[in-house]
Structure 1
Amino acid sequence: MRNLSTFVSLGLAAAIAFASPVLAEEKAAPFTDAKEVNLVNLLPPPPANDSAKTKQEIGQILTIQVTRTPEMEARAKADAEETIFRFAEVVDNPKFAKENLPKFSAFFDRVVETEAAVVDPAKDVWKRTRPHLLYPDLVKPAVPLSKSGSYPSGHTTVGTLMGVVLANMLPEKRDAIMARAWEFGWNRVIGGIHYPSDIEAGRISGISIAQTIMQHDDYKTEFDAAKAELRSALGM
């Protein structure tokens, strides 16, 4: 029994030792934050919960809810993941994968973290109630739930931001990339988790963030390296 106890203890210690580096891994550093890109000053306030605009938007959401197909729901669920590799279908190259693009992947990790650094403080100011929380008996989301503020849409912001940056790396595919970025945001309405006005604000936010970080030296350096790696991997 003592030997078994010792074996279990050693196994647990080994598991903790192997897990520690993963737990200690730091998030990527954002390229900017809410101090530089203050969305509270940039965007108009969201419509009030009892406003005619919000009621009209709830009507849109309910119409979509009864007309969306299983395929639309599946796509909205997949787009809940905030990753540049959701653009794989428009890049349309088997080499467009994380394991082939370490510099590119690390660069876009920073891009994704930038959205949260800018958007989350604005969400906390406005605290717009999400559709499924405002009308819980009516709105039935098809995507993972969230209790954070609804406005602006963070997913739409990051989708737009990723689209702008990726389109600058692959200008040959700009139209398809930006169409995919627009769909990425709209899928939050299809999923029942956001209002259309959240999406509009998210698109403005994403473009504003992109315009800001493009002026930063660290962004320029990492962008150039990521772009070179991507185009080489894709044979472009």
Structure 2
Amino acid sequence: MSQALRIPRPLLYVPLSVLLAACAVPATRPAAVEANATTRATGYLADDAVPASLDLVPAPPAAGSAGFALDEQVSREARALRGTPRFAQATRDAELGFPEGAGQFSCAIDMDVDAQRTPALYRLLERSRIDASAATRAAKKHYQRPRPFMVNGEPTCSPDDEAGLRGNGSYPSGHTSIGWAWALILSEIAPGRADAIQARGRNYGESRLVCNVHWQSDILEGRFMGAAAVARLHDNAGFQRDLAAARKEIAAARAAGMHSSRDCAAEESVLKVRPGSAL
């Protein structure tokens, strides 16, 4: 036997199944984001590290309960914003697909985010989005709560998404979980903008009320699951690397005098309109 074909002696004693396993490509779980978002990215968390929403959130308010009466009241107040600038903003907030979704907090952090100039921050937002959405999956599937537009018969801000949303439970809100996770992450890497970022995280979720696709209780528990996801992410080495790199990108952008290119004064004014006095 020639030297080129000789098998190293230690490998002669390794079971074939182990060698095959070492060559296997690890499976990736599908992105669990809501109807209008598609991505090739994967989250940071393994399936067994995703927070267990079915164990962490209570059952949604039952029909006829005081909790559901409040949900209906807030929904009516939110639907009254149809046709206003706040409704137009809620329509923009519905977009979770990347690259558009990367800019949802541009005004809050006062910086544009894209894959070319801020690759680590872009990657951090895209991948954490998948984890925050996955954190709501079990409860959504279990409760299959009908969304407001399915109950009140009124349209949403994203008609093209309605067919998909009908089969995706309302409780807890995936968009809200994502928005609040982003708010917590961005507050950590841009602490000087923390108040603006967290306010944006709150009103990002409230946009789902204005869009007539979520109830108030969906929003509240969505924030909870977003926070739970971020807690798990902090124990992930890949997340920590991207977090550190994103912090450096933001610092460099600040030093270079970069700011958001959006009309942030207009956005801030619109977002001061809240969708329900009960909130």
In structure 2, stretches of 5+ residues that fail to align are: 1-37, 257-279
* From 60, 64, 75, the counterpart of 2:89: 75
Match of 1:46 in 2: 60
Q: AA paired with 1:75?
A: Q
Match of 1:28 in 2: 41
Work out the CA distance in 2 between the residues paired with 1:34 and 1:222.
Answer: 20
User: In the TM superposition, what is the alpha-carbon distance from 1:234 to its structure 2 partner?
Assistant: 3.1
* From 88, 113, 123, the counterpart of 2:106: 88
* From 182, 195, 204, the counterpart of 1:162: 182
TM-score normalized by the length of structure 1: 0.81
Match of 2:224 in 1: 204
Match of 1:10 in 2: none
User: In the TM superposition, what is the alpha-carbon distance from 1:162 to its structure 2 partner?
Assistant: 0.6
Match of 1:141 in 2: 156
TM-score normalized by the length of structure 2: 0.69
| Partner SS state of residue 99, structure 1 | coil
User: In the TM superposition, what is the alpha-carbon distance from 1:41 to its structure 2 partner?
Assistant: 0.7
In structure 1, stretches of 5+ residues that fail to align are: 1-24
Check the 8 A contact 2:78/2:210 in 1, yes or no: yes
Work out the CA distance in 1 between the residues paired with 2:134 and 2:206.
Answer: 22
User: In the TM superposition, what is the alpha-carbon distance from 1:96 to its structure 2 partner?
Assistant: 3.9
Count of aligned pairs between the two proteins: 209
Check the 8 A contact 1:150/1:194 in 2, yes or no: yes
Q: Which range moves more in the overlay, 172-181 or 114-123?
A: 114-123
Q: Which range moves more in the overlay, 195-204 or 58-67?
A: 58-67
User: In the TM superposition, what is the alpha-carbon distance from 1:177 to its structure 2 partner?
Assistant: 0.3
Query: Which structure shows the higher helix fraction?
Result: 1
CA RMSD of aligned residues (A): 2.1
User: In the TM superposition, what is the alpha-carbon distance from 1:34 to its structure 2 partner?
Assistant: 5.6
1:101-128 deviation per Cα after TM superposition (whole angstroms, max 9, x unaligned): 1222122211111123222232101111
Q: AA paired with 1:141?
A: T
User: In the TM superposition, what is the alpha-carbon distance from 1:69 to its structure 2 partner?
Assistant: 4.9
Identical aligned residues as a percent: 26
Work out the CA distance in 2 between the residues paired with 1:65 and 1:106.
Answer: 34
Match of 2:171 in 1: 151
1:144-198 deviation per Cα after TM superposition (whole angstroms, max 9, x unaligned): 4321100000000000001110111100000110000100001111111110100
User: In the TM superposition, what is the alpha-carbon distance from 1:61 to its structure 2 partner?
Assistant: 1.0
Match of 1:121 in 2: 138
Check the 8 A contact 1:84/1:162 in 2, yes or no: no
Q: Which range moves more in the overlay, 28-37 or 179-188?
A: 28-37
| Partner SS state of residue 105, structure 2 | helix
Query: Considering only CA atoms, is the larger Rg found in Structure 1 or Structure 2?
Result: 2
